[in-house]
Chains A and B, each alone.
Chain A
Amino acid sequence: MADPRRDDPRRRVLVTPEGLTVPFTLASRGSRFGALLIDLICMGLSLLLSAIAIGFTAGSLSEMGQHLRGGTAQDHAMQALFALWIITAFLIRNAWFIAFELGPRGATPGKRLMRIRIAARDGARLTPERVIARNLLRDIELFLPLIMLGSSIGQGDNTGWLATLWFLLFALLPLFNRDRLRAGDLIAGTWVVERPRKPLARAMTEQAAHAPAAAYRFRDTDLAAYGEYELQRLEEVLRLRKDDQMALVATAICDKIGWNTPHGADVGPFLDAYYTQLRERLEGGMRMGRRKADKHA
């Protein structure tokens, strides 16, 4: 099949239990990095907001420390708040990604914004254990080396190099395997794919601009010049309907089939007619089991 995306290194095909081949596009590294950045910012903000909320309830944080070992009712309330803070911080650090990726969209807020999601690599269900496994690894991939780096900068010792090396080892892992898996993906059997969501475009032949196209009639030999690949390029051009592009394409087609090049307002109807008739011819061939991938076939 003439697929313009056939050479795309990010394309993968899965076979579902129904025997249907579903194509996936792996998420680009840029969008994954962007998603991570957004999530980290969101995590930082939630940490800050909960600290403010708890601190506000507690009155002032410095006072809190003095109350932690006291025995009055107020001290007990302070202790409860402090315990709440520890649990909240733990959950934000460890459960943020897990909780969001368990949802029906399989994506954190960052991933949602970048239009990507996680999926099981073998086409099976995305089970909670996969989500948990891939995100527990984040601790050694991201948080620990960064904490170590931060503390080494703070103390001015030499462990910074080690932390950087550690961090890079994991951060660069997706660059060195075909499916762009990070360590967590490897362990969990998951990958990150694009989440396509665009409205159904109207059929080409239903478009109003198509109507005057009937004026052109092409002979079989005129239509035999091109195949499916060119048809789909033509579809893209016709959907965009940019004048200069269309004039260029029309000239190319006319050169190929030996017609006089149409000018001005005639270009659109000419291309529409060529598109419709070429598609009719090629689809007719498909039903007979004949396919013509491109003009060289």
Chain B
Amino acid sequence: MSDWIDAVKTRLGRGAPAEEGAIRAALLRSDRFRQEREEDWKRLDSIVLRLEQGRIRRLSDEDLLELPVLYRGLVSSLSIARETSLDQATVQWLEALAQRAWFQLHGARLGFGGWLKGFFTGGWSRAVRGMGLDLLIAFAVLVVGTVLGWLLVAHDPQWYGALVGGAGDVRVPGASREVLRGTLFGTQDQDGLGAFAAYLFGHNAQISILCFALGFAFGVPTLMLLVQNAGMLGAMLWLFHGQGLTFDVVGWLSIHGTTELFAITLAGAAGLHIGRAVAFPGRRGAMAAAAEAGCRGAVVMLGVVLMLVVAGLLEGFARQLIQDTLRRLAVGGGMLGFWLLYFFAYGRQRVVSKRHG
């Protein structure tokens, strides 16, 4: 250290004692510490700034390689500074830089693209399997709701209007077989298919997001929403059954319904999953349980929205273009088989190998 002071002295010339005192005053040990490291800190600052602005391509390989090194250097500088320096401005600046660098190092490593790849190659199906009990409950509620809807309208057709609504629709109790058949095989929707598909998607996606978000209130509104939608389904099945069109309406529903109902079941399950975590957090504590359930639910929900895109396309295009019940059933059954395989058979290997490795 004294070498360094001598070097400064010779550079400045020994002539001015007052100035020498000033320099000596400037050389508080903590300020020397800062002078020695400031270059590295500022380099890290500029790298982090470029990362924050999304200009990752403008970073040289050298910068990227050095980022962790500089970060570790900063971390040690900060802990030394906290113990030895009373330069408040510097310590605060270092803390802020450590925070920003930490966000970049621990936040952007994977990127959304990488995450999405993991999502499709097992992340999604694992999240679905992670809420098995909720899936069972949601499915059971849908079945019960459908039966309930059927029984209600069978008991008193007045219920039909309350369950299905839809003023101006021809599908009402008392409608003739021809009219009802016309809604299943009609070509009146052949035009405007794209807009129709987009509308269906938007509507269903908003409902499913609602189903998920309402799970927050202990899952109760989610259950109500599921029952309501299932009741509508049951009432419609009853209506078509009354005119001997059961087979045809099942085909009409199945082509998109296997995907759409599956997606709604998943959204309901995600909502219930959160509701259960909030109500019965177990040993982890309510906050941790809610956060874990919420993250798993979010993964499922991204998938639900994607499934509803598929369902919207099937409903908007395939159902209108395929006018044969057997072929409709084949497409619907195929989709159901695909989803079941994807959710319950795919991605298991990965988990096993991860646990062992």
Binding site for B on A (CB under 8 A): 1, 16-18, 20, 22-24, 68-71, 75-76, 79-80, 82-84, 86-87, 89-90, 94, 102-106, 117, 119, 121-122, 124-130, 132-134, 136-137, 139-141, 144, 183, 186-189, 195-201, 203-206, 210-215, 228, 231-232, 235-236, 239, 273, 276, 279-280, 282-283, 286-287
Residue contact B198 to A86, C-beta cutoff 8 Å: yes
Residue contact B209 to A136, C-beta cutoff 8 Å: yes
Closest to A206 in B: B26
How far apart are the CA atoms of A70 and B195 in the complex, in Å? 12
Residue in B116, B198, B292 whose beta carbon sits within 8 Å of that of A82 in the complex? B198
Residue in A122, A200, A205, A215 whose beta carbon sits within 8 Å of that of B41 in the complex? A200
Decide yes or no whether B229 CB sits under 8 A from chain A: no
Q: Enumerate chain B residues within 8 angstroms of A127, measured Cβ to Cβ.
A: 115, 295
Given known contacts A90-B205, A103-B54, A189-B291, A79 and B192 CB-to-CB distance under 8 angstroms: yes
Q: Enumerate chain B residues within 8 angstroms of A71, measured Cβ to Cβ.
A: 191
Residue contact B299 to A129, C-beta cutoff 8 Å: yes
Known: A20-B98, A132-B299, A196-B92. 6 other contacts (CB 8 A): A83-B199, A105-B54, A130-B295, A130-B298, A195-B100, A280-B28
Decide yes or no whether B25 CB sits under 8 A from chain A: yes
Residue in B31, B93, B107, B210 whose beta carbon sits within 8 Å of that of A206 in the complex? B31
Residue contact A125 to B107, C-beta cutoff 8 Å: yes
Residue contact A200 to B202, C-beta cutoff 8 Å: no
Q: Enumerate chain B residues within 8 angstroms of A133, measured Cβ to Cβ.
A: 294-295, 297-298, 301
Closest to A23 in B: B95
11 contacts between A and B (CB under 8 A): A94-B205, A104-B52, A104-B107, A126-B107, A129-B299, A132-B302, A187-B294, A200-B89, A200-B90, A201-B93, A205-B28
Residue contact A139 to B301, C-beta cutoff 8 Å: no
Closest to A203 in B: B31
A-facing mask of B103-121, CB < 8 A → 1, else 0? 1101111101001100000
Residue contact B28 to A197, C-beta cutoff 8 Å: no
A-facing mask of B275-311, CB < 8 A → 1, else 0? 0000000000001101111111111011000000000
Given known contacts A214-B21, A283-B30, A22 and B291 CB-to-CB distance under 8 angstroms: no
Q: Enumerate chain A residues within 8 angstroms of B108, measured Cβ to Cβ.
A: 104
Residue contact B191 to A69, C-beta cutoff 8 Å: yes
Q: Enumerate chain B residues within 8 angstroms of A22, measured Cβ to Cβ.
A: 95, 98-99, 102
Decide yes or no whether B227 CB sits under 8 A from chain A: no
Given known contacts A232-B88, A235-B88, A203 and B34 CB-to-CB distance under 8 angstroms: yes
Q: Within the complex, what minimum Cβ distance (angstroms) separates A194 from chain B?
A: 9
A-facing mask of B192-210, CB < 8 A → 1, else 0? 1111011101100110011
Residue contact B295 to A205, C-beta cutoff 8 Å: no
What total of A-B pairs shows CB separation below 8 Å?
A: 228
How far apart are the CA atoms of A69 and B28 in the complex, in Å? 81
Q: Enumerate chain A residues within 8 angstroms of B6, measured Cβ to Cβ.
A: none
Residue contact A125 to B25, C-beta cutoff 8 Å: no
Decide yes or no whether B253 CB sits under 8 A from chain A: no
Q: Enumerate chain A residues within 8 angstroms of B202, measured Cβ to Cβ.
A: 86-87, 89-90
Decide yes or no whether B324 CB sits under 8 A from chain A: no
Residue contact B107 to A186, C-beta cutoff 8 Å: no
Decide yes or no whether B183 CB sits under 8 A from chain A: no
Given known contacts A187-B290, A197-B96, A214 and B18 CB-to-CB distance under 8 angstroms: yes
Residue contact A86 to B195, C-beta cutoff 8 Å: yes
Residue contact B298 to A188, C-beta cutoff 8 Å: yes
How far apart are the CA atoms of A125 and B114 in the complex, in Å? 14
| B68-87, CB < 8 A from A | 72, 75, 78-79, 82-87
Residue contact A140 to B216, C-beta cutoff 8 Å: yes
Decide yes or no whether B212 CB sits under 8 A from chain A: yes
Q: Within the complex, what minimum Cβ distance (angstroms) separates A209 from chain B?
A: 11
How far apart are the CA atoms of A22 and B82 in the complex, in Å? 12
Q: Within the complex, what minimum Cβ distance (angstroms) separates B144 from chain A?
A: 25
Residue in A94, A189, A211, A228 whose beta carbon sits within 8 Å of that of B209 in the complex? A94
| B41-60, CB < 8 A from A | 41-42, 45, 51-54, 56
Residue contact A119 to B103, C-beta cutoff 8 Å: yes
Given known contacts A137-B216, A214-B25, A232-B88, A87 and B30 CB-to-CB distance under 8 angstroms: no
How far apart are the CA atoms of A218 and B79 in the complex, in Å? 30
Q: Enumerate chain B residues within 8 angstroms of A86, measured Cβ to Cβ.
A: 195, 198-199, 201-202
Q: Within the complex, what minimum Cβ distance (angstroms) separates A201 from chain B?
A: 4
Q: Enumerate chain A residues within 8 angstroms of B180, measured Cβ to Cβ.
A: none
Q: Enumerate chain B residues within 8 angstroms of A103, measured Cβ to Cβ.
A: 54
Residue in B85, B98, B198 whose beta carbon sits within 8 Å of that of A283 in the complex? B85
How far apart are the CA atoms of A183 and B214 in the complex, in Å? 11
Q: Within the complex, what minimum Cβ distance (angstroms) separates B96 from chain A?
A: 4
| B139-170, CB < 8 A from A | none
Q: Enumerate chain B residues within 8 angstroms of A16, measured Cβ to Cβ.
A: 75, 102, 106
Q: Enumerate chain B residues within 8 angstroms of A187, measured Cβ to Cβ.
A: 216, 274, 290-291, 293-294, 297
Closest to A211 in B: B22
Residue contact B295 to A129, C-beta cutoff 8 Å: yes
Q: Within the complex, what minimum Cβ distance (angstroms) separates B59 from chain A?
A: 12
Q: Within the complex, what minimum Cβ distance (angstroms) separates A279 from chain B?
A: 5
Decide yes or no whether B66 CB sits under 8 A from chain A: no
How far apart are the CA atoms of A125 and B96 in the complex, in Å? 18
Q: Within the complex, what minimum Cβ distance (angstroms) separates A262 from chain B?
A: 17
Residue contact A105 to B52, C-beta cutoff 8 Å: yes
Residue in A82, A140, A195, A212 whose beta carbon sits within 8 Å of that of B214 in the complex? A140
Given known contacts A127-B115, A186-B290, A279 and B28 CB-to-CB distance under 8 angstroms: yes
How far apart are the CA atoms of A62 and B298 in the complex, in Å? 39
Q: Enumerate chain A residues within 8 angstroms of B212, measured Cβ to Cβ.
A: 136
